[in-house]
Structure 1
Amino acid sequence: MNKLPEDEFAQELEELRSKSQHLFKLESRLEELEKRCSEYKDSSDKLREEVGIYQKLLDEWDWFFQHSSEMLCIATKQGYFRRVNPAFVKALGYSEKELLSRPIIDFVHPDDREKTQKEYEKLINGNQDAVDFRNRYRHADGSWHHIAWVCPSLTPGVNNLYAIARDITEQLKHDEQILYKAMHDPLTGLYNRAAFSEMLDRAMARADRHNEGVVALYLVDLNRFKEINDTYGHSVGDEVLTQVAQRFANVNRKSESVFRLGGDEFAFLLEDIAPVEVKPLAQRIVKSIESPIALSDGAFSLTVGCSIGVSFYPNSATEVKKLIDQADAAMYRVKRASKNGFEIFHQP
């Protein structure tokens, strides 16, 4: 076997060493690539899993948006609806296309537009965390619906407004009916005793704020009413009360209020500036029931009169009970005289 010259041997050894080092680098690089490939695969799996979770959340949100009984909407900074849910469409009677194609302010009642615009600007500018307000929206049938809104303001990176709304029109009607029943007499429709107490307190407070403010209280008791009730029965008595109440309501003017306190007892409140002219209202009250009351069945007519006592706040009384007691005393003086008319309370 021939030996390689020493120079060639050294050269081949160097080449072998170089190839060996290169191979080592390749193997290291291959291991690195395999590791990275495995990491990428893990990352890809995780990413795919996260995308799946995200998509599931989107699907759940979309389902909630579409099926919520609450009115939900997404709006742009420019004042247009970007998306509305079926409950929103149903509540206002428009198609989704109609709602999305017009500025939001077009649907708002003219008297509520300035307020609505201010609330919208607060949300866009992030001046407060959220707004909770009410306004009126025109329904597709032309009627106005009361809408209550809750909407968080814009946060950094968010370009749309998200809001929950509720049509509270029927709720407000129901509340108004309850309030009406609480403050009105069911037989005559006049204000009742509860309303009398509240409105008298308010009238006295207004008089206190005005140097010359006066409240005149007229207590009115019908004459012959017990006789009518005893003779013809309560149904006829109720009809008499109803017609008398209507006549009293017709003589009532802007600064005056009329009440049925119970039975055949009524009251008027007159707010004015001293000196108060008592006689005009008293005469209108007496005159309003001078003519006979024709019953609905047309069988006969009945005549009633009234006795009126008048007292003043703060001239003769400075508290509610005393004011009522004084008017009551004056009224009974008229009643004992067996005549129709009025009398002003005077300190003995």
Structure 2
Amino acid sequence: MTSQEELDNITRLAAYICQSAIALIYLTDGTQQWFASEGSLEGLQISTDSACHAYALLHKELLIIEDTWQDTKLTTTALATFTHSVRFYVGIPLINCQGDSFGCLCVMDVKPRQFTNLQKEGLQILAKHVTNQLESHHMTSQVLRESETSFQLLVQSVKDYAIFMLDPNGYIITWNEGAAKIKGYQPKEIIGQHFSRFYPQEDILRDKPNRVLKMAAAEGRFEEEAWRVRKDRSRFWANVVITALRDESGKLKGFAKVTRDITERKRAEEQLIHNAFHDALTGLPNRTLFIERLGHELRYAKRHPEYLFAVLFLDIDRFKTINESLGHAVGDSVLKAIAQRLETFFKGTDAIARFGGDAFTILLEDVLSISEASWIAEKITQELALPFYIKEREIFITISIGIALNFEGLTQPDDLLRDAEIAMFIAKTEGRARYQVFDASMHDRAVRRLQLENDLRRAISGDELRLFYQPIVSLITGKITGFEALLRWQHPQKGWVYPGEFIPLAEETGLILPMDLWVLRESCRQLKQWQIQYPNYRYLTINVNLSGQQFSQPNLLEKIDIILAETGLDAEHLKLEITEAFLINKPEEASATLKLLKKRQIKLAIDDFGTGYCGLNYLHRFPLDTLKIDRSFVSKLGVEREVSIIVEAIVSLAHNLGMEVVAEGIETKEQQAQLQAMQCEYGQGYLLSKPLDKEAAQLLIASSSL
């Protein structure tokens, strides 16, 4: 009868060929032999009366079930009797010379998989070999030799596995085609050589080849995934299984060695791991890896209370402007260039990460004090302030940095990152292009800011926003020519909240968009009502400020058309005020949008002129009707001679370009007189009238019409 050792070898080879977890020889007399080729299958029981074996025996043909949970060949009874954890099953009946089935050769796995034609052919050869071995006492020597020949041909023809035999001392005695393909040696070159030549030099120096043979001899089997060396000395990742071969008396006859090249799989795994922990654009560690590193630092600091480290949270100031004006491709190039500059600045460390969007984080290990972390932040600010050259463009950026240190009480990475990010936001609100060290009061400010944001969302959807109207007066006749709509927020607990407190927050959160539209609709409705009520003032106009975000919306014109149609206001009585920043940052887009508005007879004004980037010679590019001189210039009239000269030049240029001029912030008679002397047509300011609620504005119109 065939020995247990021979059955072991057959089942192992079946498992390797089919890349399955289990190979099983099941006999109808109730005996079975099974082998787990990889992993721990503890607790997995293979039923000896499995319906799957019965199917194969009954039909006397190969049974392939690539997924036992899905295959329609399995009845409810079959599923009930078959082990639930087995998902993949292939069974081939063992048929003796009388044509009777006396068992099955099966391969199984806990995962569903596909079964290839090459694997099918290999399993059929093995089944024939098992049949011949188990029925050898009924076979002639010729049939036995044919069986052995088929078995050897199978081993020799396997090209994806290096299968060879070693003598007890590790010298090679057989060599198959797969071994020649994987390792590069032909049989005549390698047979008789010691198998240690396949190991890297560092493994040979540690005597690893002899140690693994000893382990295989002692335990029966040794398996590992490790580097191996080809004939040309190139390395490859290998899955290696060494099985000890013993005779019936237990004497060691040698070793069977199966090697598979898994380099591509390893590379794919390494790439997946790299992708999971690194940013695709910059190649830097990503948020996940940075948080993991931060957790390690916090655990170390807990064991060593004197240890101090810092987290820097970097955010690019006005990065959205780069994307919107130069395009996302340039924006991506800027991010990559910043990453490279940071890596150069912090040579030999991987403590830099792209945290997402235009934010980066840096871990400073073992810092001495807050002063050291601040000094490094200052140096980073200076380094990134140098120009970047992207696609033949010179681009300047500034960054805001928040710094948080691991003071007592912090145990979670998210807490430290939160503190650093809060400090960064404080740096932005205080003017950008600077760094800020976190302190406890900042957290309270952040909580208040979050509460303000929540309140603002409620205010927009509720009834808390109010419009005030500041008259625009002719400096020639003294008559009211129109109003500027000014937004106020009447908070139910805090009272009046002024624009300087909530407009920046609205712009940052995107809430400015619904706010803008509410202001536009309400002011158009109100002006139309006054025009109807006071026919002598049908010429009144309403000035409405729209944010740059609103002007960038693709459906802006459609929304304005709808509002004008809803309120019944003629387009010529609406004047939209645009900031300089929008004009200079997006000149082509701005020009196109303004021209479309002009076609609708809507008036256009440039607001707060002189405070932004727009040069005097830039104005001719845009179809503007009105230029509004900022109050910072008006307030210095008669005080600083240079300012008076600048204002006079602005008025003269505006007139030459066919624009009217409105001076904002007039508070004294002297300012009014100078502006009149410069032939400035219109003015706003407390001297003329403070902003009025709608009732007071209506009374002003009524009294003026008498």
Secondary structure of the structure 1 residue equivalent to 2:174: strand
Q: Kindly state the Cα deviation for residue 198 of structure 1 after the two structures are TM-superposed.
A: 2.5
- State whether residues 116 and 135 of structure 1, in contact with CA within 8 Å, keep that contact through their aligned partners in structure 2: no
User: Which of 386, 390, 400 is matched with 1:291 structurally?
Assistant: 386
Higher relative contact order (CA 8 A, sep 6+): 1
Q: Which amino acid aligns with 1:177?
A: Q
Q: Which amino acid aligns with 1:172?
A: K
Unaligned runs of 5+ in 2: 1-135, 442-706
**Identity rate of aligned residues, in percent?**
26
User: Which of 164, 170, 175 is matched with 1:79 structurally?
Assistant: 170
Residues 281 and 63 of structure 1, relative CA distance in 2, 3 Å threshold: farther
Q: Which residue of 1 aligns with 2:292?
A: 198
- State whether residues 295 and 412 of structure 2, in contact with CA within 8 Å, keep that contact through their aligned partners in structure 1: no
Residues 290 and 314 of structure 1, relative CA distance in 2, 3 Å threshold: same
Q: Kindly state the Cα deviation for residue 101 of structure 1 after the two structures are TM-superposed.
A: 4.2
Distance 2:341 2:413 in 1: 27
Q: Which residue of 2 aligns with 1:323?
A: 416
Of stretches 195-204 and 207-216 in structure 1, the one that deviates more from structure 2 is 207-216
Unaligned runs of 5+ in 1: 1-45
Q: Which residue of 2 aligns with 1:312?
A: 405
Equivalent residues, number: 299
Residues 75 and 214 of structure 1, relative CA distance in 2, 3 Å threshold: farther
Q: Kindly state the Cα deviation for residue 275 of structure 1 after the two structures are TM-superposed.
A: 4.9
Q: What are the equivalent positions in structure 2 for 1:60-75 lying under 5 Å apart?
A: 60-68=150-158, 69-75=160-166
TM-score by length of 2: 0.40
Q: Which amino acid aligns with 1:260?
A: R
- State whether residues 244 and 254 of structure 2, in contact with CA within 8 Å, keep that contact through their aligned partners in structure 1: no
Q: Kindly state the Cα deviation for residue 255 of structure 1 after the two structures are TM-superposed.
A: 5.4
Q: What are the equivalent positions in structure 2 for 1:91-106 lying under 5 Å apart?
A: 91-106=182-197
- State whether residues 145 and 169 of structure 1, in contact with CA within 8 Å, keep that contact through their aligned partners in structure 2: yes
Distance 1:117 1:279 in 2: 56
Distance 1:80 1:314 in 2: 62
Q: Which residue of 2 aligns with 1:117?
A: 210
User: Which of 126, 145, 148 is matched with 1:55 structurally?
Assistant: 145
Query: Is 2:307 aligned against 1:216?
Result: no
User: Which of 140, 143, 147 is matched with 2:234 structurally?
Assistant: 143
Residues 279 and 63 of structure 1, relative CA distance in 2, 3 Å threshold: same
Q: Kindly state the Cα deviation for residue 89 of structure 1 after the two structures are TM-superposed.
A: 0.7
Over the residues paired in the alignment, what is the CA RMSD in angstroms?
A: 2.3
User: Which of 437, 453, 467 is matched with 1:344 structurally?
Assistant: 437
Q: Which amino acid aligns with 1:266?
A: F
Residues 121 and 283 of structure 1, relative CA distance in 2, 3 Å threshold: farther
Query: Is 2:252 aligned against 1:161?
Result: no
Residues 334 and 273 of structure 1, relative CA distance in 2, 3 Å threshold: closer
Distance 2:310 2:361 in 1: 10
Q: Which residue of 2 aligns with 1:334?
A: 427
- State whether residues 212 and 274 of structure 1, in contact with CA within 8 Å, keep that contact through their aligned partners in structure 2: no
Distance 2:180 2:303 in 1: 50
- State whether residues 316 and 323 of structure 1, in contact with CA within 8 Å, keep that contact through their aligned partners in structure 2: no
More helix by share: 1
Give per-residue Cα distances to partners, 1:63-92, cap 9 Å, x unaligned. Answer: 121112322110122222111211111012
Q: Which amino acid aligns with 1:307?
A: S
Give per-residue Cα distances to partners, 1:149-202, cap 9 Å, x unaligned. Answer: 112234313411002111111111111111122222111111122222322223
Distance 1:246 1:132 in 2: 42
Give per-residue Cα distances to partners, 1:250-277, cap 9 Å, x unaligned. Answer: 1224455111111111101122266573
Residues 141 and 288 of structure 1, relative CA distance in 2, 3 Å threshold: farther
- State whether residues 306 and 341 of structure 1, in contact with CA within 8 Å, keep that contact through their aligned partners in structure 2: yes
- State whether residues 224 and 239 of structure 2, in contact with CA within 8 Å, keep that contact through their aligned partners in structure 1: yes
Distance 1:109 1:266 in 2: 40
Q: Kindly state the Cα deviation for residue 104 of structure 1 after the two structures are TM-superposed.
A: 1.8
Residues 237 and 144 of structure 1, relative CA distance in 2, 3 Å threshold: same
Distance 2:368 2:409 in 1: 13
Secondary structure of the structure 1 residue equivalent to 2:325: helix
Residues 100 and 265 of structure 1, relative CA distance in 2, 3 Å threshold: same
Distance 2:280 2:251 in 1: 58
Q: Which amino acid aligns with 1:265?
A: A
Of stretches 179-188 and 309-318 in structure 1, the one that deviates more from structure 2 is 309-318
Give per-residue Cα distances to partners, 1:7-64, cap 9 Å, x unaligned. Answer: xxxxxxxxxxxxxxxxxxxxxxxxxxxxxxxxxxxxxxx9783534542332122012
Secondary structure of the structure 2 residue equivalent to 1:321: helix
